[in-house]
Amino acid sequence: MKKKISFLTLGAALIAVPVLAAQGGKMGDADGNGVLTRAEAQAHATEKFAKMDANGDGKLDQSDREAKRAEMHAKMFERLDADKDGSISKAEWDQRAADREAKRDGWRGKRMAAADGERGMRGHHGMRGGHHGMSGGRDMMMKADTDGDKAISQAEFQTAALARFDAADTNKDGQVTAEERRAARDAMRAQWKAKRAAAPDAN
């Protein structure tokens, strides 16, 4: 189970590599012009790999996932420990629970308000797409791990990122526009839906 979770985690990270995630001057679009070049995609992949490679050993594997989880736990403890005395009191714990519930209420209110409009429908599909994305992420992880060592090297990570860029760059002009990104996302969603529909037959 741990290996499966690790695959999903790293695979989901691969999905966040430029092309599908690049929108509105973010996630690799360095000059913010709404168009992602191959050079920008490569630079962003290098930067993202460095951030994900928690122990700096030049590969993404289970140890990086464990290090990231430990870092998240430490940050969570720091947030909970409001008075910074090195321990979490019941009052601090209760306050955290109250804050989380308030956020949930706010989120529920926004979701209900959006449910009546087209935007709400897109948000609903987006949540489902995120679920499919985890399965697609595992597939991408396995494809990126070309030598089958259950780890992704920087070279494998960049190769996967640029392969996604090249696939989205339908007119092969060395850049991916917003229209090409949308087309690539739609094609990926269609693949996920087809796989999900075929899953019962495979079992």
What average pLDDT does the chain have? 76
Give the pLDDT confidence score for residue 138 in this predicted structure.
58
Q: CA 143 to CA 137: how far, in whole Å? A: 10
Is the Cβ–Cβ distance between 12 and 136 less than 8 Å?
no
Q: CA 106 to CA 103: how far, in whole Å? A: 5
Give the pLDDT confidence score for residue 23 in this predicted structure.
43
For residue 61, the one-letter residue type is D
The domain total for the chain is 1
Give the pLDDT confidence score for residue 41 in this predicted structure.
92
Give the pLDDT confidence score for residue 37 in this predicted structure.
93
Q: Read off the DSSP letter of residue 83.
A: T
Give the pLDDT confidence score for residue 201 in this predicted structure.
56
Give the pLDDT confidence score for residue 79 in this predicted structure.
85
Q: CA 37 to CA 30: how far, in whole Å? A: 9
Q: Which residues of the chain have pLDDT under 70?
A: 1-27, 115-141, 200-203
- 169: tokens are 């760059």
Give the pLDDT confidence score for residue 197 in this predicted structure.
85
Is the Cβ–Cβ distance between 46 and 158 less than 8 Å?
yes
Give the pLDDT confidence score for residue 47 in this predicted structure.
92
Q: CA 11 to CA 153: how far, in whole Å? A: 13
- Residues 6 or more apart whose CB falls under 8 angstroms from that of 162 comprise 38, 41, 42, 45
Burial of 164 (0-12, 13-18, 19+ CB in 10 A): buried
Is the Cβ–Cβ distance between 53 and 36 less than 8 Å?
no
Q: What is the pTM (predicted TM-score) of this model?
A: 0.54
Determine the structural domain holding residue 78 and report its residue range.
Answer: 2-202
* Angle at alpha carbon of residue 144, lines to 62 and 39, rounded to 5°: 110
- 3: tokens are 């290996």
